[in-house]
Amino acid sequence: MAEISRGQETSRSLWYVGTGKTEIRTELLDVLAPGFLRVRAMYGAISRGTESLIFSGRVPESEFQRMRAPFMAGDFPFPVKYGYATVGRVEAGSYDLIGRPVFVLHPHQTVFDVPIAAARPLPGNVPPRRGVLAANMETALNAVWDASPKPGGRIAVVGAGVVGILVGFLCAKISGADVTLIDIDPARAEIAKTLGLSFALPDNAPKDCELVVHASASAAGLTTALNAAGDEATVLELSWYGSNPVSVPLGGAFHSRRLKLLSSQVGMVAPSHRATWSYSQRLSAAIDLLEDPSLDALLAPAVSFDDLDVVLLKLFTPGSGALCQVIEYP
């Protein structure tokens, strides 16, 4: 490995610096330390749900520590260098990995150094652009573990964003499962069809489901989820609302139908797998699940990293319609 000294390599990264404000900052990288890799970013992805809350300053103070992402810099609420979906090519640090594309839970940055263990090599059948879905797939996989769907069950997923669609995609792999995506945007029907899923608008949502996963991050969506649940069904709440208060309709048939409202969050491995699965194993499994080319339907046309400070304002506007916004690095 050729020595890389401080001052020979500069990097640019996206920072959230105030409510509705971002900027791209330049920094010098240190000498590459033993046991580390230097990775040059190829593609990244914006997590619309989480990053829109950061962008708008809606991370609750109680979650300032739990919300910290790997390799994040700064402190909440601002300024913070944040993000967790980057695919890059290894330039130095390990002869076995040089030239290979890897996924890293890293903020949006052109080139960076990480411990070797933090980089997950992409399998040959997962192209780098699709690899940016790894973090969302990991969240979806953990949610399915939390939900424990049964073979032959009737399943509804309310909220056809990236994570919701991926949950539906994984549930459809369960033998005999009947999975319906529910969303207010009729355009999501085409994506559901591509992935072999049924689709319904909220007014036509199925009833008496054994499992309902809610991922719309809205009170209206949660109401739809509770109404779609059958007797003694589980409603898995996968949304994160930040500091927004949410009205939960626990009257009506909630008690008489003995519904179970369960939360899921990727910060811990699901209890059903915690004894035998590490975080590293879970992320590797999520990456392997990206081999299906139909998942490319979730990827929005790439935007340049250099244009992010302009693009984000539009992307985080409600109703923008974008699913997984891909970043292309120079």
Cβ distance 271 to 244 under 8 Å?
Answer: no
pLDDT at residue number 2: 43
> What CATH code would you report for 136-263?
3.40.50.720
pLDDT category of residue 247 using cuts at 50, 70 and 90: confident
Residue type, 80: V
Q: Which residues pair with 24 in a beta bridge?
A: 14
Mean pLDDT of the chain: 94
- CA distance linking residue 61 with residue 319, whole number of Å: 27
Domains of the chain, residue spans: 10-121+294-328, 136-263
Q: How many percent of the chain have pLDDT more than 70?
A: 97
Contacts of 21 (CB under 8 A, 6+ apart): none
Answer for the pair 279, 138: CB distance below 8 angstroms, yes or no. Answer: no
Amino acid at 218: S
Q: What are the tokens at 201?
A: 């608008």
pLDDT tens per residue across span 124-157? 999 999 999 999 999 999 999 999 999 999 999 9
Q: Do domains 10-121+294-328 and 136-263 have the same CATH topology?
A: no
Which H helix or E strand runs over 314?
helix 308-315
DSSP class of residue 299?
E
Task: Write out pLDDT tens, residues 278-316.
Answer: 999 999 999 999 999 999 999 999 999 999 988 898 888
For residue 5, pLDDT beyond 50:
no
Question: What is the Cα–Cα distance from 244 to 309, expressed in whole angstroms?
Answer: 25
Predicted confidence at residue 309, as pLDDT, reads 83
- Residue 3: per-residue pLDDT: 46
- CATH code for the part of the protein at 10-121+294-328: 3.90.180.10
pTM of this prediction?
0.94
